[in-house]
Amino acid sequence: MAEAQIPAATPTPATGPAPRAAFATDRPLFVDFGCGRGDSMRVAEKIMRGPGAGIDISAERVAAAREQGLDVVEGDVLAFEERNIATAAFALDLVPELEGRRALETACANMLRAATDFVILQHLCFDSVEALLARGVVAPDHLARAVRYRPRIADYVHFVQQFGARHEIVGFAAFGMGEVKVEPCGLSGLGGAMFAMLENRPVYRSVRIIMARKASARFQTALRRAGTGDALLIWEAPGS
């Protein structure tokens, strides 16, 4: 794979790297970036079959998570510098809050450095937007929430192509998950070649991305634990 330089994202001035000592657990099973008040950590706990730690940029959300007894610290995924501190790293519904693909690539790189085995990301499936329009409908979940960035599976493929060798990525997968609730788009007579091709394409509420490091066995473990939904794309490095 060809390598390229990841431009450094500008960290949020009020936060910085979360020091390893700040976690109550010396080596958590996972780190959940953008953990909020802790709901996403419950999802990660089920996948990892044990407790982990969380990081969030909001002091208010961190305090709320700590009130629930969760091991959470304040910090920013774009400024995180710790390496190999947990088996896995998670980011659930975080990526659409970032400022574009440059920030996505920085976040993925920092998460891969933080995890020894694999990274799991999940958010709304923006790849479904055009296919829904081809049917004359939209998904309120995809449109009602204000987001800064609408990542596609192709953005993650680009990241693996450009930076996979540097981060020793040996496996990548994307899964479509969940049923989409739809409503009429309000525009009659939509048509065109693009819509004709997309009309019968499956649509999903969410997409789950898995990237594993160094060993095929780690990728297979991640697939067994988190490979739910429809497999949209799976790649494994030859000889890994």
**Which residues of the chain have a pLDDT value below 70?**
1-21, 144-145, 194-195, 199
Within 13 Å and on the Cβ side, how many CA atoms surround 240? 20
The average confidence (pLDDT) of the chain is 88
Q: Which SS3 state, helix, strand or coil, does residue 85 take?
A: coil
Single pTM value for the model? 0.87
d(C-alpha 152, C-alpha 134), whole Å: 18
The torsion angle over the Cα atoms of residues 221, 173, 167 and 78, rounded to 10 degrees, is -110
**pLDDT the model gives residue 16:** 44
Q: Which is nearest to 201 in space by CA: 123, 122, 132, 125? A: 132
C-beta of residue 61 within 8 angstroms of C-beta of residue 37: yes
pLDDT at res. 4: 46
Sheet of 53-56, strand order: 71-74, 53-56, 30-33, 86-92, 115-124, 206-213, 169-177, 230-236
Burial (0-12, 13-18, 19+ Cβ within 10 Å), 77? buried
pLDDT at residue 18, as a whole number: 40
Q: Out of 3.40.50.150, 2.40.50.140, 1.10.760.10, 3.40.50.920, select the CATH number for domain 76-125+152-179+205-236.
A: 3.40.50.150
User: Would residue 34 be called left, alpha or beta, if left means φ above 0 and alpha means ψ between -120 and 50 degrees?
Assistant: left
Look at residue 20 in the predicted model and tell me its pLDDT: 52
Largest pairwise CA distance in the chain: 59
